[in-house]
Amino acid sequence: MTKKTDQDVMRENNKKLVLKTLFNAGQTSRSSIASAVHLQKSTVSSIILELHEDGLIEELGIGEASNAGGRRPNLIQFNYRYGYVLAFDMGARHLRYSVNYMNGEVIQKESLRLTGHSIKDVFQMMQQVISGLPAFDTMNGLLGIAVSAHAPVHENEIRYSPFLELDSFSLLEALQGIVDVPIRFENEANLTAISIRDFWYYSGEEPLSSLLALNIHNGIGVGTIINEQLYHGMQGLAGEIGRSVIYKDGQVYRLEELYSEKAVMEKIAQQNGKQELTVEEFVALIKSKDSFVLAVVDEWVTAIAQITYNLVQYGAPEAVFLSSRSLSQFPELLNRIYEEYKALNPLGETRIEFTQHDIYESSLLGGVALIARQVLGLESQDLIFKK
């Protein structure tokens, strides 16, 4: 292998800097990019030519002259139609997918009811989705696939799944057998954290360098961003907060056995003589102000506030983002969580936020960003994606 010279490394770094600036800028010009990255115009022009040859630049024509006059600039932008990426989310009952341009814009998305609980069944559904995708008017078609798993992931393999029967079947190898593109598996809460980092709108604020994404769904998980990078921990096990133990009523429980959305819904279903509730039924019962349901929800709100407080005391992030399918429909409950959290008198000034985009989109958007970054070679750059 030929060893890279310092000049080669510098050239690669400059190219990444120019591409990042182009990706984030929208309509821009070569001179604007040169000013933004503080490089010689000749260096930037050479890199722009290379990116153009790679198909990553779209020419927009002549723009308006500046107030100071001078030559009218040739406008360019990142070619978001360079290709598209595909993200899957494997839930307990549904396989969701999203097809997005490289800048994050959605082309197509759908939710499919799972036909079985075997990972082989999931693969068959994925295969049908992939085979049915056209080029979507892009230069290169499918560029990569991300798979969100509601389970720990290590070295691109799902360690175990509480919802799906893995049966020693390698989903990665099966997918690699039908497409020749990068494929990445990642934990659902981790992808939610990535989606917040890359898609969150900061309204002129500086992007957050540290944040926690607390996801309360069928389980309880936390995605962690430290210094703008995703933290996995040993063997990908960081964030498995739902497996924390708690002593209650003379017994030791896992936290998610008591306070996951699934656990709360099962408790209410049992009271109503049902095996299970849908999220829609759960929401309807809250709206009906059933006394038993409200008492369970009161305890749940307090528990979430305490979980959030404990996370903040340990990690001291700039912000914690809460995500729950049912709670998201009740702003008053979200406000109560925040008030109970503040009443615990936390140290520091961590913000408590609630994910803005659709709860079901979070992990999909994170997967889109994960793959787009890999394809572009910009894994550690500050990128701003669009919805």
Return the SS3 of 37.
helix
Q: Which residues of 320-350 are buried (b: 16+ CB within 10 A; e: fewer)?
A: bbbbbbbbbbbeebbebbbebbeeeebeeeb
Over residues 64-87, the mean pLDDT reads 81
Which class does domain 205-357 fall in? alpha beta
- Residue 66's pLDDT is 59
Q: Which residues fall within 8 angstroms of residue 387, CB to CB, at 6 or more apart? A: 104, 105, 106, 199, 357, 365
Over residues 172-189, the mean pLDDT reads 97
Return the SS3 of 349.
coil
DSSP 374: H
Between 231 and 66, the more confident residue is: 231
- Residue 88's pLDDT is 97
The answer, yes or no, to whether residue 205 has pLDDT greater than 80, is no
With a pLDDT cut of 90, the percent of the chain lying above it is 72
Residues 351 and 177 sit within 8 Å (Cβ to Cβ): no
Over residues 201-220, the mean pLDDT reads 85
Q: Quick one: 216 exposed, middle or buried, by C-beta within 10 A (0-12, 13-18, 19+)?
A: buried
Q: What is the bridge-based pairing of β-strands 245-248 and 251-254?
A: antiparallel
Query: Could you tell me the CA-to-CA distances from 154 to 70, 237, 238 in Å, in that order?
Result: 55, 8, 11
Over residues 284-309, the mean pLDDT reads 95
The answer, yes or no, to whether residue 203 has pLDDT greater than 60, is no
pLDDT by residue (tens digit) across 316-334?
999 999 999 888 888 899 9
Which class does domain 84-194+361-376 fall in? alpha beta
Over residues 253-272, the mean pLDDT reads 94
Q: Where are the domains of the chain?
A: 10-78, 84-194+361-376, 205-357
C-alpha to C-alpha distance for 334 and 300, rounded to whole angstroms: 11
Here the tokens at position 232 are 């996995």
- Residue 356's pLDDT is 64
Q: Quick count: other Cβ atoms within 10 Å of Cβ 364?
A: 28
Between 8 and 82, the more confident residue is: 82
C-alpha to C-alpha distance for 183 and 153, rounded to whole angstroms: 13
C-alpha to C-alpha distance for 29 and 64, rounded to whole angstroms: 11
C-alpha to C-alpha distance for 52 and 139, rounded to whole angstroms: 13
Between 358 and 335, the more confident residue is: 335
The answer, yes or no, to whether residue 63 has pLDDT greater than 80, is no
Shared fold status for 10-78 and 84-194+361-376:
no
CATH of domain 10-78: 1.10.10.10
The answer, yes or no, to whether residue 1 has pLDDT greater than 60, is no
Over residues 264-278, the mean pLDDT reads 92
Confidence of residue 358 (pLDDT cuts 50, 70, 90): low
Q: Which residue has the tokens 């008198």?
A: 345
The answer, yes or no, to whether residue 72 has pLDDT greater than 80, is no
C-alpha to C-alpha distance for 349 and 342, rounded to whole angstroms: 10
Note the pTM of the prediction, 2 decimals. 0.92
With a pLDDT cut of 70, the percent of the chain lying above it is 95
